[in-house]
Chain A
Amino acid sequence: MQLSRRASSAATVALILAVAEVARAEEAPPTEVYAPPEEKPADAPAPPPPPARAIDVRASSEAAAYADTDHVFVVTPTIAASIVNPTAGWTLNGRYLVDVVSAASVDIVSTASRRWEEIRHVGSADVEYKPDTFGARAGVNVSSEPDYLSVTGSAAVVKDLFDKRVTLLGGYAFGHDIAGRTGTAWSLFNRQLDRHAFKLGATFLVDRVTVASVVLDTIFERGDPSKPYRYVPIFAPGTEVARGAPPEQVAQLRLSARPLEQLPLTRDRFALSGRIAHRMDPLTLRGDQRVYADSWAMIASTTDFRAPIDVSRRVEMGPHLRFHVQKAVNFWQRAYVMQPGFDFPALRTGDRELGPLWSGTGGGSFRWKVGASEHPDTFILGLDLNVTTTQYLDDIYLTHRVSGIGAFTLEVQL
């Protein structure tokens, strides 16, 4: 009896050991089970990993096209390149774009002018150096067209704090614009505008899937930003001009005098922006909110939302929604009237973007990573489409406008 008990115990132990051995053999990867005998010593060093690229060079191009129901068409091809040395912490960026504008808008028709075409060239470059927790960047931007030149220089510093949970940003930019008239020498006619822009911001790492930022922008503009081609219709006191009145009706109602636009010579602008991005793999939720006020008494709010989603390892797409609403500047009038003594109003504008309006944008983006399977993001094709409807709440020529912009992008890692 004892013998049989011992025998059964030994058999049980042997069975357990056998089952465990089989299970271990099944758990082990086939290469371990069927691997040939090791030929090199066990303490041989592992082969070194492939060296990381010291310099990352990327080039991109964008072809954007814009059209709206006010007969304005813009084509904007852009090329850009960046050179990054992530180890040393420096980045060089360069960009060049051309705006080809063709317009026969209601403003042009109302002045009995022909279709207007113009080409604008913009070049920009910036350099950034951030070897550790402190970094600095500087840039320059030049925009040139036959009757307008804009030059801007900027500098900014960033500082990581608290184990990179907080990053502070401070920046300054100075811009100098000169507006002229086509066919007239700059020395005979020019209007100059200086802009001093200050930026203070902070980025917060909220948790391991959420990041947020707050930015305060302050811009001080000094000079005359009035457009030298923009004429403002003037009416006799008591004239009723309906919202959205067509050019023919305005031409019948207005006085013969038609002065140029005249805007205030100073403007102080303040904007507070907040942005949050939350990753819910494979989805990212991004929300922006911006409030704005300036010394011309304009107040505005802009809300922007995007939700890009990784549909697959190669495809990313997502919707884009935007809503903007603004109150008019304090000298805005739908119809300016002649002052006593046959004086024009001292401040007057025909720029409907300074009037009360709201706009809603809906669209989306699509990215297709077509690079090699191990690095699909070395070659990316992209398409962005957005449609905007704008409601002008107190304008003489337009009550609304629908516009669309599409952009095709190509990004390559060289």
Chain B
Amino acid sequence: MTRASIVFATALALSLSSAACARVAPYERGALAHPTMTMSDMGGVGEEHVRAVHEGAIGGGLSAGGGCGCN
């Protein structure tokens, strides 16, 4: 795949994705500012660490280390 086609594909994907999004004026974004609408994880640090140990398919975080109590 050439560089131009990668740029074109990226631009096309962005254009399509932005077209799928509604125009929302700043004064209409009150509901989006609610704390529960964050795209961050809502679990606490303890829960995050337990998941990293219990689910072998971790990824997207580098919080796992030792201290897992798992031999």
Q: Which residues of A contact B (CB under 8 A)?
A: 62, 64-66, 72-74, 76, 78, 95, 97, 99, 101-103, 105, 107-108, 111, 116, 118, 120, 122, 141, 143, 145, 147-148, 150, 152, 154, 161-163, 165-166, 173, 175, 177, 179, 195, 197, 199, 202-209, 211, 213, 215, 217, 219, 227, 229-230, 269-271, 273, 275, 277, 279, 281, 284, 286, 292, 294, 298-300, 302, 306, 308, 316, 324, 326, 329, 350-351, 353-355, 357, 359, 365, 384, 386, 388, 390, 403, 405, 407, 409
B46 touches A62 (CB 8 A): yes
* Interface assignment of B45: CB less than 8 Å from any CB of chain A: yes
In which size bucket is the chain B interface?
35 or more
- Asked whether, in the complex, the Cβ of A161 is within 8 Å of the Cβ of B65, the reply is no
C-beta contact mask, B24-65 vs A, less than 8 Å → 1, else 0?
A: 100011011010111100111111011001111111101101
Closest to A103 in B: B69
Given known A165-B21, A230-B71, A324-B55, contact A286–B46 (CB-CB < 8 A): no
Contacts of B49 in A (CB 8 A): 76, 99
Please tell me if the beta carbons of A141 and B71 are within 8 angstroms of each other in the complex.
no
CB atoms of B17 and A99 under 8 A apart: no
Whether B65 lies near A122 (C-beta < 8 A) is yes
Chain B residues, Cβ within 8 Å of A292: 57, 59
* Chain A contact residues, majority secondary structure: strand
Say whether B6 faces chain A, with CB atoms less than 8 Å apart.
Answer: no
17 contacting pairs across A/B (C-beta < 8 A): A76-B46, A76-B49, A143-B63, A145-B65, A161-B14, A166-B17, A211-B32, A269-B57, A277-B38, A277-B39, A279-B37, A284-B34, A302-B55, A324-B57, A357-B56, A359-B55, A403-B54
Q: Does B4 count as interface, using CB distance less than 8 angstroms?
A: no
- The answer to whether B45 touches A95, judged by C-beta atoms less than 8 angstroms apart, is yes
A227: chain B residues at CB < 8 Å are 71
Tell me if B's interface is mostly helix, strand, loop or mixed.
Answer: loop
In-complex Cβ contact of B31 among A150, A173, A209, A329 (8 A): A209
Bound CA span A175–B17, Å:
33
A166 and B21 within 8 A (CB): yes
Q: Of A105, A213, A298, A390, which is within 8 A of B70 by CB?
A: A105
Q: For the complex, what is the distance from the CA of A390 to the CA of B39, rounded to whole Å?
A: 27
A107 touches B36 (CB 8 A): no
Contact, CB under 8 Å: A202 / B32: no
Q: In the bound complex, what is the Cα–Cα distance between A213 and B37 (angstroms)?
A: 11
In the complex the two chains form, is A384's CB within 8 Å of B47's CB?
yes
B3 neighbours in A (Cβ, 8 Å): none
14 other A-B residue contacts (CB within 8 Å) besides A143-B66, A316-B36, A353-B56: A76-B45, A143-B65, A165-B18, A166-B14, A206-B20, A215-B60, A269-B59, A270-B59, A271-B57, A271-B59, A271-B60, A277-B39, A300-B56, A357-B56
Nearest A residue to B63, CB-CB: A141
Given A99-B67, A166-B17, CB of A300 within 8 Å of CB of B55: yes
Is B69 a contact partner of A101 (Cβ separation < 8 A)?
yes
Return A80 CB to nearest CB of chain B, in Å: 8
B22 touches A177 (CB 8 A): no
Of B46, B65, B71, which contacts A107 at CB under 8 A?
Answer: B71
A74 to B32, CA, bound (A): 36
Pick the residue among A111, A175, A326 that contacts B57 (CB under 8 A): A326
B42 to chain A, nearest CB (A): 6
Contacts A62-B44, A66-B46, A161-B14 given; does A141 touch B62 at CB 8 Å: yes
